[in-house]
Amino acid sequence: MITLWKEELAGVTYPEGFVVAAVRCGLKTEGDDLALLVSDSMATVAGVFTTNYVQAACVRYSRRVVRSSGVARAVLINAGNANACNGERGETDNRNLAEWTSRLLDVAPDAVLTASTGVIGHPLPMDRLQKGIPEAVERLERSAEADARAARAIMTTDTFPKYRAVLVDSNHWVAPIRFGGMCKGAGMIAPHMATMLAFLTTDARLPGPLLQEALRRAVEPSFNSVTVDGDTSTNDMCLLLASGMGEAEISREGEAFEDFVEALTRLATALAKEIARDGEGATKLVTITVQGAPTRYAAKTVAKTVAESPLVKTALFGCDPNWGRLLAAAGRSGVHLDPNRIEGFIGPYRVCAQGSSVPFDREGAHAYLKGREVTVTLDLGIGEESATVYTCDFSYDYVRINAEYHT
């Protein structure tokens, strides 16, 4: 059982054994755009990656490293250029990034993972990156300021950096475990694997297969349950590095492992909600829960369909308690349901029952939807399973941002 949960103003270097740096290479119009996360010693690594058949070079490369060795010393992350759809040149450029970094760190090339985000179909400006990597190595440090700067460096259309750190203890661990994380994402968010870009760290000691299982389980209700616009990126990636520099060791499945998964899931969920909150042009974070479903898969399918409905999202932006759009979206989800059993809630307001309207305070519901965080609940009335998806509304700015941002 989790006995301590203490959040800290820090990020990926909060766990023992990690340093990070961020520098400007000129890939973005302003600010830092290259981050380097390094473990003091070889770290166990787990990863989950996009299911999009069109994949960036960094995805193919980092997946191969994670699966073949399961260890790494560093992650090099660039923002402003996705290095996707660049053919053999993109593959070569990605390998060169890993090799240049590995030489400076005096490690093997496959000890360096890579991640990219930004515009698709443009070659990387390798001359700028070749100059920036040594500068990043020189700036490596362990501090809350470095954590914040790295989280900001990996942003594209994000409006704020997303990073967290927490000290966790359990009555099944010999010592507390530190967790850190940072992620980016505001648009092209509908992952079917993991997330946009997310990097999680811990100082616990776990064998590779157990770490991979922990990440797989943590990602499903968190990063895999957030959607902004229904588009799955070519570059989606979530990496978890365990330095093993702390005192806690989890060597097998059991209560200690279950508590580790719970802690990791809570951290990942907090970061995932920040992505939904920062959806392009969003004015509110929306939590959609579907309960009373025959299976968890069915519940999540309905919740995701509702969350990705443009009509639902625009109604939420307009603060319109339009429950008909909720039911219409649920009905086209592909899940076999009985509309005469559905009960719907917008926040505390019961807006429909048995598939029909019920009297409710429309002005109160309208006022509720003006808040920065709102909830929508649908009870299908045909089972016991439930699932939650995090999303946001669609505003005029979503169209403006994506019309003006060259992808």
pLDDT tens figures, 62-110: 999 999 999 999 999 999 999 999 999 999 999 999 999 999 999 999 9
Domain boundary among 229, 250, 277: 277
Write out the residue range of the structural domain in which residue 26 sits.
Answer: 2-277
Instruction: Identify which of 69-73, 190-194, 391-395 has the greatest average pLDDT.
Output: 69-73
Active-site hit among 195, 269, 377, 391: 195
Question: What is the rounded CA–CA span in Å between residue 65 and residue 46?
Answer: 10
Mean of pLDDT over the chain: 93
Q: Are residues 233 and 254 both part of a single domain? A: yes
pLDDT at 193: 33
Q: Are residues 257 and 392 both part of a single domain? A: no
pLDDT at 405: 56
Residue 280 is assigned to a ligand binding site:
yes
pLDDT tens figures, 225-283: 988 655 556 778 999 999 999 999 999 999 999 999 999 999 999 999 998 888 777 89
Q: Are residues 87 and 210 both part of a single domain? A: yes
Residue 295 is assigned to a ligand binding site:
no
Q: pTM (2 decimals)?
A: 0.92
Q: Are residues 68 and 176 both part of a single domain? A: yes
pLDDT at 176: 98
Q: In this structure, are residues 191 and 50 in contact, taking their beta carbons and an 8 Å threshold?
A: yes
pLDDT at 50: 83
Q: Are residues 37 and 79 both part of a single domain? A: yes
pLDDT at 232: 59
CATH code of the domain covering residue 318: 3.10.20.340
Q: Are residues 232 and 346 both part of a single domain? A: no
Q: Are residues 268 and 304 both part of a single domain? A: no
CATH code of the domain covering residue 34: 3.60.70.12
Residue 195 is assigned to a ligand binding site:
yes
* Residue 106, burial from CB neighbour count under 10 angstroms (0-12, 13-18, 19+): exposed
Express as a percent the part of the chain with pLDDT over 90: 84
Q: Are residues 93 and 58 both part of a single domain? A: yes
Residue 27 predicted with pLDDT over 90? yes
pLDDT tens figures, 58-74: 999 999 999 999 999 99
Residue 265 is assigned to a ligand binding site:
no
Work out the average pLDDT over 113-139.
Answer: 96
Domain boundary among 261, 277, 293: 277
Residue 214 predicted with pLDDT over 70? yes
Work out the average pLDDT over 165-189.
Answer: 90
Number of domains in the chain: 2
Q: Are residues 241 and 94 both part of a single domain? A: yes
Question: What is the rounded CA–CA span in Å between residue 401 and residue 90?
Answer: 27
Residue 370 is assigned to a ligand binding site:
no
Instruction: Identify which of 12-26, 193-207, 275-289 has the greatest average pLDDT.
Output: 12-26
Residue 184 is assigned to a ligand binding site:
yes
Q: Are residues 173 and 62 both part of a single domain? A: yes
Q: Are residues 235 and 340 both part of a single domain? A: no
Domain boundary among 231, 247, 277: 277
Residue 13 designated active-site: no
pLDDT at 195: 42
Q: Are residues 245 and 376 both part of a single domain? A: no
